[in-house]
Structure 1
């Protein structure tokens, strides 16, 4: 229960807001301040990345002229960009293991504020010095500060929000960190136009738009530092996580688990692969755009396309393909990432390149968010934080490494001109060739990951995609529909009854029902399908009987109660049909899904509670067995796996609980998960 007194981290006005509410998190003053600082810092980092790489390219041209190589030294330009990006990797390699230790040995507020001011000064110094070697040095120093600033920020955020809102806070952080790439790219592009259109001067010379971008970046960090300086509840000393596990324990634990768990290996490989694909595009974008006749504006346009696709993919990709197995969605997006790099490498028109870059970013965003969701669902709780910490640090390292290596490879390949005829020739640069090579490698990685993680082997992907695009389910606008699912003896009836008693005590109007058999038609169906005297039934006949029971049940019991605004609790529903007749009887999933949609008018539960229990444990809870309970252990094992698979595909509508836990603990967890839905149902009822 939330304490009655107000504290900066727990606002009593937010008691009834759902745990996933973004607006509720942003109403917490100190977290909102931290979010503004993080947003400004992230925006500055993206604008600064574009400006520094472009400035390194310009400085290489100037250096080439001084050395007598001319201003079009292709290798020198690539090596200059690679040098800047490589220096972004070095601090993570050297300071990474010590960064958390360093950050925790000082006051966190001082670390955050001083870190922002230091980066502001370093960015502002680059236009003033305007020297390639100082660009290298300043980049190294900036990254050293960032490596220490990051752990201080990560250790602070859990202290600013209540534990039940930490997930929503992390989602906001993710959106802010990577979502700021798009406005950063737009700002960079706009500045190139502004400087050219207004003929601004600096030190008696026309103002270089890259200087303007760096000064703006410095201003962003300075303002961020000022905001963070107003924090009032920022904790001092080591964080709770640092007390429980140091950096070394986190890294070793993450490595060990990933090395021994096939699913974790496949997920991490895919997540890092998605980041690598994005890194290749970002690292080579400037040179590639030059090869096809673009300039700084084209560079900004291409970067904008990638980051726009990345943001849309993170937020909208999983919704677009809702209903597709998350494992399949992850593998499919990863394969698409690799395939899309092939036309990106072969086309030489900026318009087409930008389109494919946007699609590539979209698929990378889907991979990233889906992969992290799977990690959260599939990784055991005691390993989750360490595995996420490992993935986070490795993602940054992989991105930075690819950003540094891709230009090096492109520079070694060089620019080549091919004569197609006496008056026609084609110039093909090392950047495009590197895209092509990366696309082939990424496609191989994607196919391998898809095969490794596919949880619906034997069912064509095309069949799943057709089902997905037929649309999602219907959720009642009035009342709340809750279903309990699980294998035999899991405790569904007990929990359904306890939930009804609790809801009635809270003043709700509740209908407790079950399938099959809670109608006159259903009683006869139940007698046929469950009585051992029935003997063998055709699998299709059995499925049709269950579907008939559901159709009658929805039309005469469930739908009328929901229309009255009641809370409907059902012991079994559609998932039982898909698990028992689909996985258990091995009937085609698509046929059963279509039949179930039609029989139930596509009505879906707001929440499905899956009580997970090994079949042997469930069977030991009773003696007499009906016709379904008499099936083999393999049958019930397939049923259990089907329930868990369906739950993992739509976690926003499912709650999976270990059925071996004490009955009271299970009931309490169900109540916590259901509470936000009850509040939403009240609001919907008032509006109606």
Structure 2
């Protein structure tokens, strides 16, 4: 018996947020402060490099800014593993505090050198030297931080803690850029308040140095700092890339995702690399540069948060490729338009598109890659992204400087300025569009359906349907899952529940719901037909599905019935596509033609590990059930990938839970899409019936 107001609600109460942990909260605050300082350091140093070489011409200025980016990233690539191994031998608190104090002193030395000397080539050389030293010190702070976090939070909250860490790592970039833009306001506004306001880069570096000192204080005063070491040294970046490509290259979909994500990353990096010079060419100063720098990351944050919520009816794989292509188009517009306000707005859009591609790709890779390879794949992706960013931000301003400033005569009295930064952005736009098209071609799971029509339909909140297709009035629900997942039992329980609510329900299955289908089922599942080829199997399932849609599903939907099917198209994508290693584009194409593009309103995936599902069978296994465990693991992985690609169509249920709980969760989700509201009395319709073979 439960106390009123408790019961299920109490059992679902969420555990305290990870930030409720006082020690992790203090470390996270220090990380936030340091991330803000790191981004402010990048903006201030690139602006300072541009100011110091402004009198030396366009080429020298571009090369000077590129030198800062190289100095910022080269130590991590060349010395990262060595520093990590050395850092693991020191007390972590001492290593982090000393590193913060050294960063404070080195960053502070840059504006002090400017105050005590006249700007000269030697001044710029000290900027580069100090930057290199700061980044070398960073190599001791970062691994010590990474090794400390797992010892401050429980293992089941580590993912949440890492998400918060990524939030401050990238989320502080627009804050730092905005702060620099404010500091770079006309000096007359701030001169009476801050004596150093005449030079915003110098003032930003003073603030940057103070930020590192605050971080040192927070780390030094952190109570009960963990003492044990967990081994934080890592292989070299280049070695991670070499090893990772062996795992990534084996899957065309993962390969397409990685290529696309790196293309989106490079598009944003191209803007950052030439932003300082380009903004100055457009008539803007340090404030405008800070605004453009922040616009990229503000757009990325917006895209990562809101992107997956846009165009809900569009395939996630299609949205991934289209976002990269669109980013290339926007980057081309940035390259050719000579209006600073429009450039800032387009930069926000560019960042948003890159953020959409990055978050979708990151999610799909997490589900596509096997558990034992996932860590190495992400390490490979992050390492390769770092190298790509280094190349882009170093090569972009260098290429811009080598090309120089030029005027193109478009008419006798009309000249169009097309300098090195325009060229770099335009080349980046072409490459981004090409990468997006490659990713779209490799990953498109709706081939045969026109992209423009699909986009228009998704913008209107519905799935694309051909003009000749009779529009159904009912609702279509499909159950998917591996062998022994319980989907057959749950589909029948849902049918019983919906009939109790007064709905006209048609219960069906694949294969074998038509006269032709019954014969096909005998062929497909009979263990005596083990020699059936994978292509023949896929075609037979598609033939059964064509009969099923035309004779059973569509007539019921047209009359307004609720259709519940045990398996549908996604089973072919999982079993024949992933299980039999057929080209998923081919499987998608033949099934889209067989079904006329009919897609379920809701797909319920009952997710059960194959070892558990197969153990539920007492009778002899059929042709599919007798496949080896690796086959069923690939099937399960593909189902989860499909669910991640279309989260609004799917609901994923843990099938290892009690039958009543699984039924309740399914009913809760179905209730959300029913045309008429159904009271929340799910406890009256979760009775059990004998489990049925799946």
TM-score by length of 2: 0.74
**1:486 corresponds to which of 470, 481, 486:** 481
**2:348 corresponds to which of 358, 375, 400:** 358
Look up the match of 2:447.
Answer: 457
- C-alpha distance in 2 between matches for 1:177 and 1:486: 38
- C-alpha distance in 2 between matches for 1:533 and 1:452: 32
- C-alpha distance in 1 between matches for 2:659 and 2:160: 19
Q: How many residues align?
A: 590
The alpha carbon displacement at 1:460 in A equals: 2.7
Look up the match of 1:385.
Answer: 375
- C-alpha distance in 2 between matches for 1:15 and 1:496: 23
**1:41 corresponds to which of 19, 22, 34:** 34
1:95 paired to 2:92 = no
**2:25 corresponds to which of 32, 37, 54:** 32
For the residue of structure 1 that corresponds to 2:377, the secondary structure is: helix
Look up the match of 2:94.
Answer: 110
Look up the match of 1:127.
Answer: 111
**2:227 corresponds to which of 220, 231, 236:** 236
RMSD across aligned C-alpha pairs, in angstroms? 4.5
Contact 1:251 1:386 (C-alpha < 8 Å) held by counterparts: no
Deviation larger for 637-646 or 275-284 = 637-646
Look up the match of 2:553.
Answer: 543
Look up the match of 1:74.
Answer: 58
**1:152 corresponds to which of 139, 144, 151:** 144
Instruction: Give ranges in structure 2 of 5+ residues lacking alignment.
Output: 1-9, 115-122, 464-476, 520-543, 574-586, 626-631, 672-678, 682-694
- C-alpha distance in 2 between matches for 1:282 and 1:438: 12
CA spacing shift, 1:347–1:247, aligned 2, 3 Å: closer
CA spacing shift, 1:347–1:611, aligned 2, 3 Å: same
For the residue of structure 2 that corresponds to 1:485, the secondary structure is: strand
- C-alpha distance in 1 between matches for 2:92 and 2:663: 34
- C-alpha distance in 1 between matches for 2:372 and 2:167: 26
Q: Which residues of 2 match residues 558-577 of structure 1 at below 5 A?
A: 576=568
CA spacing shift, 1:78–1:611, aligned 2, 3 Å: same
Q: Which residues of 2 match residues 439-478 of structure 1 at below 5 A?
A: 439-471=429-461
- C-alpha distance in 1 between matches for 2:278 and 2:56: 14
Look up the match of 1:558.
Answer: none
Deviation larger for 27-36 or 307-316 = 27-36
Q: Which residues of 2 match residues 211-250 of structure 1 at below 5 A?
A: 211-239=202-230
CA spacing shift, 1:421–1:646, aligned 2, 3 Å: closer
Contact 2:318 2:445 (C-alpha < 8 Å) held by counterparts: yes
**1:414 corresponds to which of 404, 414, 417:** 404
Q: Which residues of 2 match residues 596-635 of structure 1 at below 5 A?
A: 596-597=600-601, 608-611=605-608
Q: Which residues of 2 match residues 160-309 of structure 1 at below 5 A?
A: 160-193=152-185, 195-200=187-192, 207-239=198-230, 253-309=243-299
The alpha carbon displacement at 1:379 in A equals: 0.9
For the residue of structure 1 that corresponds to 2:445, the secondary structure is: coil
Contact 2:77 2:236 (C-alpha < 8 Å) held by counterparts: no
Look up the match of 2:69.
Answer: 85
Contact 2:263 2:431 (C-alpha < 8 Å) held by counterparts: no
CA spacing shift, 1:195–1:366, aligned 2, 3 Å: same
For the residue of structure 2 that corresponds to 1:415, the secondary structure is: coil
The CA deviation string for residues 605-660 of structure 1, in whole angstroms up to 9 with x for no partner, is: 8x74234769x9799975799xx99xxxxxx9999898555413245964487xxx
CA spacing shift, 1:252–1:425, aligned 2, 3 Å: closer
The alpha carbon displacement at 1:344 in A equals: 0.9
Contact 2:181 2:286 (C-alpha < 8 Å) held by counterparts: yes
Contact 2:62 2:398 (C-alpha < 8 Å) held by counterparts: yes
CA spacing shift, 1:164–1:654, aligned 2, 3 Å: farther
For the residue of structure 1 that corresponds to 2:17, the secondary structure is: helix
TM-score by length of 1: 0.74
Look up the match of 1:57.
Answer: 50
1:335 paired to 2:325 = yes
CA spacing shift, 1:533–1:127, aligned 2, 3 Å: closer
- C-alpha distance in 2 between matches for 1:336 and 1:435: 14
CA spacing shift, 1:573–1:182, aligned 2, 3 Å: farther
- C-alpha distance in 2 between matches for 1:53 and 1:181: 14
Instruction: Give ranges in structure 1 of 5+ residues lacking alignment.
Output: 1-13, 62-70, 474-481, 498-510, 554-571, 598-603, 630-635, 658-662
The alpha carbon displacement at 1:394 in A equals: 2.3
The alpha carbon displacement at 1:401 in A equals: 2.5
